[in-house]
Chains A and B, each alone.
Chain A
Amino acid sequence: MEKITLAHGSGGTLMHKLIDSLFMKEFDNAILRRKKDSAVFDIGRSKVAFTTDSYVVSPIFFPGGDIGRLAVYGTVNDLAVCGARPLYLSLALIIEEGLDRNILEKIVSGAKDAAKRARVTIVTGDTKVVERGSCDKIFINTSGVGEIYYDGLSLDEIRPGDAIIVNGSIGEHAISVMASRESIDFKTKVKSDSSALNALIARALAISKGIRFMRDPTRGGVATTLNEMVERRSFGVAIDEKAIPVSAGVREACELLGFDPLYLACEGRVIMVVSKKDACKVLGAVRKDVNGKKAAIIGEVTRENKGKVLLRTSAGGKRLVGMLSGEQLPRIC
């Protein structure tokens, strides 16, 4: 009997296979088939985006954030990358019995602060308490709705020659969370990049009609997001290792643990595909945002290497970057 393993939830190939073979098959419909970060559909005369996500991060507090903030930002970002203005969120809590009330209060105040920063309102919620051991301290689910203000962000719009922009240095969320866990003991100054991107995205969309597609590289990191983008498409992507912003702290942790920063999760980063003509303009706009100071053009869409992601390495060589297969684990060899 096949069992579901952690790898099925880590954003890599196994998860995609599970989605395709089970959920897509059973719930098949036109909206789902588009596989966007949010479902986009019409209600009456308005076009809305709707999304949901669950947060099970351990530990629940980490440098740069907490599970409450993450739950708000994550859903806000999934709406924003679809060209929607995030408006209303639900917040559902599954709490393990025995959790200190002041911890719950801290998480709720984190979510409140995050909602204020992202300018969204939490309008409904749910609370369940489960027996000790049935969950790890607290799990949160948020759903969100937003109003589409920029229609037409789609993988179908991507053209060879388009530039690929990322709004800041990658992998900081993953390293900060890992360092806060007890299992691998190391200390780092890296803080999670967890943040709301709706203001940054609105800024970019306001100045350019050349933005084709956006996605936030959460689980599986930039490498996985780019692979999702090119999968079964008639174009490829070439990125330049030297152009990809990686902070010294993330680089050091990657050397120690044998990780590739391209596969590390981000929670405040977005990949934008922009027409070549508008790339510099959009980059300039993104850099004006507080979450975009280190934004960079990291590569381009290519006619060659259809369906593949090619990396020009810092040493001058080339290699293909695949989708994450299972979880990334610390190596000693």
Chain B
Amino acid sequence: MKYIDEFRNKKLIDKVASEIRRSVEVNRQYNFMEVCGTHTVSIFRFGLKDLLPDNINLISGPGCPVCVTPNEFIDKAIALSARKNMIITTFGDMLKVPGSYSSLEKERARGADVRMVYSGIDALDLAKKNPGKEIVFLGVGFETTAPTVAQSIIAARKNKVKNFSVLCGHKTMPEALKTLTEDPRLNIDGFLLPGHVSVIIGITPYLFLPRRNKRCVVAGFEPLDILQAILMLVKQRTPKVEIQYTRMMNKNGNALARESMKKVFEEYPSVWRGIGAIKKSGLKIRKEFSDFDTDKKFIPKISKPKENRACICGDVIKGVKAPPECKLFGKLCDPEHPVGACMVSSEGTCAAYYKYAGR
């Protein structure tokens, strides 16, 4: 068992797909939201929409952490990158994301020292190797990633590394889901919940969803996982939270990871690109760790972030509006000059619409 190819078995995929077709009620529409960007990528990469009956509509939610990172965060990173002896380290995803005036990729072309890393620990190692330089790590990601960055900060303190800090832009999922479901226009029957976030947080934070009449299944990321989860959503009569991804997660999550997150970070209201501020949906570094907090250490100065108010990503993410209804779509906003979250991610709803003309 290697846990990858087994869950891409074509025969089983066909079987589950036909069971889905058999199980749907013909004269109703099912709107399911895949919250997580990795689900979106997987659905797209394996062409799973083709295998589903026409009355199942999958909507891409706000679960790409890079895409929902607001301009202000990138503006700060760019401002820092202009300083002497500063190395900005980031996950590859962040490089192309536009801020108000530029992106890290463009700043790198102008001479800024911006480096890609795979892990917060790699950034910490870079700090150890370059004692004369300041290493800033861009902490983005949801509950899956946040504990790894917390551990990197804890390791920096333990090893007395003084030239390492984190520009913290971490976000958390439950409050964002709450905000989504508070919109009376939201037309979603159920959620495909994010498997790897749930590995950390377990299912308790989602229990409010069934009470709001939303069906829920925590799903893995292979084609069989996603299809099975959709089948479970279709068959779920009374809304509840079910787990499809049982090989990977416990319903209580990973307590150790949550502890380290709590030790380093605290909740605060965070701004989501295209959606706006959501209370308790972000993480900031606690006072006790402020020597590793880029915001405290360098107090990056930026001009007022420029957000385009005409962007309707919030409504696109909720499935209330379609991309062509946006004034910016295809005019000021395209994959090479994205304005909103849905265009930033190559599999975002707007980017997909743009590329495939409504497909």
Mark A residues whose CB is within 8 Å of B.
3-7, 13-14, 183-186, 255, 257-258, 260, 311-320, 322, 325-326, 329-333
Across the interface, B93 reaches (CB within 8 A) one of A6, A183, A329, namely A329
Bound complex: CA A81 to CA B358 (Å): 37
**B56 in the interface, Cβ–Cβ < 8 Å?**
no
**Closest B residue by C-beta to A313:** B47
Q: Tell whether, in the assembled complex, residue B50 and residue A318 are in contact, meaning their CB atoms are under 8 Å apart.
A: yes
Min CB distance B172 to A, Å, is 14
B356 to nearest A CB, angstroms? Answer: 6
Q: Which one of B4, B50, B93, B95 contacts A317 once the chains associate, using CB atoms below 8 Å?
A: B50
Residues of chain B whose beta carbon lies under 8 Å from any beta carbon of chain A = 4, 8, 10, 13-14, 17, 37-38, 41, 44-51, 64-66, 91-93, 95-96, 105-106, 108-110, 115-118, 122, 141, 145, 223, 335-336, 346, 355-356, 359
Kindly identify which residue among B10, B118, B336, B359 contacts A316, using a CB–CB cutoff of 8 Å.
B10
Q: Could you list 23 examples of A-B contacts with CB < 8 Å? A: A3-B106, A5-B108, A183-B115, A184-B118, A312-B47, A313-B47, A314-B8, A315-B10, A315-B223, A316-B13, A317-B46, A317-B51, A319-B45, A320-B359, A326-B96, A326-B105, A329-B96, A329-B116, A330-B116, A332-B92, A332-B93, A332-B118, A333-B64
Q: Are B50 and A332 in contact (CB under 8 A)?
A: no
A189 CA to B64 CA, complexed, in Å: 32
- Cα A300 to Cα B118 with chains together (Å): 38
CB–CB A13/B336 < 8 A = yes
Cα(A333)–Cα(B345), bound, Å:
10
Which residue in A185, A316, A333 is a CB contact (below 8 Å) of B37? A333
A326 to B338, CA, bound (A): 13
Q: A5 to chain B: which residues have CB within 8 Å?
A: 105-106, 108-109
Which residue of B37, B64, B92, B336 is within 8 Å of A329 (Cβ)? B92
Task: Check A315/B96 contact, CB under 8 A, given A329-B116, A333-B38.
Answer: no
Closest to A323 in B: B355
The residues of A that contact B48 with a CB separation of less than 8 Å are 315, 317
Output the least CB separation between B232 and chain A (Å).
Answer: 18
Q: A185-B122, A315-B10, A315-B13 are in contact. List 15 more A-B contacts (CB 8 A).
A: A14-B336, A184-B117, A255-B4, A313-B46, A317-B48, A320-B359, A325-B336, A325-B346, A326-B336, A329-B116, A330-B118, A332-B92, A332-B118, A333-B38, A333-B65
CA distance A151 to B273 in the complex (A): 55
Nearest residue in B to A7 (C-beta to C-beta)? B105
Given the complex of chains A and B, what is the CA–CA distance between A314 and B223 in angstroms?
Answer: 10
Question: How far does the alpha carbon of A322 sit from the alpha carbon of B109 in the complex, in Å?
Answer: 25
Please, which residue of chain A has its CB at the minimum distance from the CB of B41? A258
Instruction: State in angstroms the CA–CA spacing of A3 and B106 once bound together.
Output: 7
Taking a contact as CB atoms under 8 Å apart, the answer to whether B108 and A314 are in contact is no
Q: Is A3 in contact with B93, judged by CB distance below 8 angstroms?
A: no
The tally of CB-CB contacts under 8 A between chains A and B is 99
* With contact pairs A3-B110, A325-B335, A329-B93 given, residues A316 and B47 touching in the complex (Cβ less than 8 Å): yes
B333 nearest CB across to chain A (Å): 14
Least distance between A247 CB and chain B CB atoms (Å): 14
Q: Across chains A and B, which 4 residue pairs bring their CB atoms closest together, nearest first?
A: A317-B47, A329-B92, A317-B50, A315-B46
B209 nearest CB across to chain A (Å) = 22
> Counting chain B CB atoms within 10 Å of each CB, which of A13, A185, A311 scores highest?
A185
Residues of B within 8 A of A320 (CB): 355-356, 359
Q: How close is B286's CB to chain A, nearest CB, in angstroms? A: 23
Q: B359: nearest residue on chain A (CB-CB)?
A: A320
**CA distance in complex: A260, B347 (Å):** 13
Which A residues touch B44, using CB under 8 A? 319
Enumerate chain B residues within 8 angstroms of A311, measured Cβ to Cβ: 47
| A183, A186, A319, A332: most-surrounded residue (chain B CB, <10 A) | A332
Residue on A nearest B140 in the bound complex, by CB: A333
Q: CA–CA, A183 to B125, complex, Å?
A: 11
Nearest chain-B residue to A331 (Cβ)? B93
Q: A3-B110, A316-B13 are in contact. Are A331 and B355 (CB under 8 A)?
A: no
The answer on a CB contact under 8 Å between B110 and A316 is no
Which residues of A sit under 8 angstroms from B117, Cβ to Cβ?
183-184
Contact residues in A for B105 (Cβ distance below 8 Å): 5-7, 326
> A322 touches which one: B45, B66, B116, B355 (CB < 8 A)?
B355
A330, B145: Cα distance in complex, Å:
15
Complex: how many Å from CA A68 to CA B172? 49
Using Cβ atoms and an 8 Å threshold, which residues of chain A touch B10? Answer: 314-316
In angstroms, Cα B49 to Cα A320, docked, is 13
| Minimum distance in angstroms from B14 CB to a CB of chain A | 7
| Minimum CB–CB distance for B118 against chain A, Å | 5
Tell me if A332 and B45 are in contact (CB < 8 A): no
**Contacts A3-B109, A329-B93; A316 near B50 (Cβ below 8 A):** yes
A260 to B38, CA, bound (A): 14
Report chain B residues within 8 Å CB of A312: 47
Quick check: B49 and A317 within 8 Å, CB to CB?
Answer: yes
Q: How far is the CB of B72 from chain A (nearest CB, A)?
A: 20
Are A332 and B336 closer than 8 Å at their CB atoms?
no
Report the bound CA distance from A13 to B351 in whole Å.
15
Q: Which residue of A316, A322, A329 contacts B51 across the interface (Cβ within 8 Å)?
A: A316
Q: Which of A183, A314, A329 contacts B46 (CB 8 A)?
A: A314
Residues from chain B with Cβ under 8 Å of A14 in the complex = 336
CB <8 Å contact, B336 and A330: no
Q: Is the CB of B95 within 8 A of A329?
A: yes
Q: Tell me the nearest residue of chain A to B222, going by C-beta.
A: A315
Minimum CB–CB distance for B338 against chain A, Å: 11
Docked Cα-Cα span, A13 to B92, in Å, equals 19
- Give A319 to B42 CA distance when docked, in angstroms: 12
Q: Contacts A316-B10, A317-B50, A319-B47 hold; do A330 and B106 have CB atoms under 8 A apart?
A: no
A329 to B96, CA, bound (A): 9
Contacts of B145 in A (CB 8 A): 332-333
Instruction: State which of B8, B106, B355 has its C-beta within 8 Å of the C-beta of A315.
Output: B8
Closest to A311 in B: B47
The CA-CA distance from A183 to B91 in the complex, in Å, is: 11
Q: Give CA–CA (A311, B47) in the complex, Å.
A: 9
Which residue of chain A has the shortest Cβ distance to B94 in the bound complex?
Answer: A329
Query: Which residues of B sit under 8 angstroms from A332, Cβ to Cβ?
Result: 91-93, 118, 141, 145
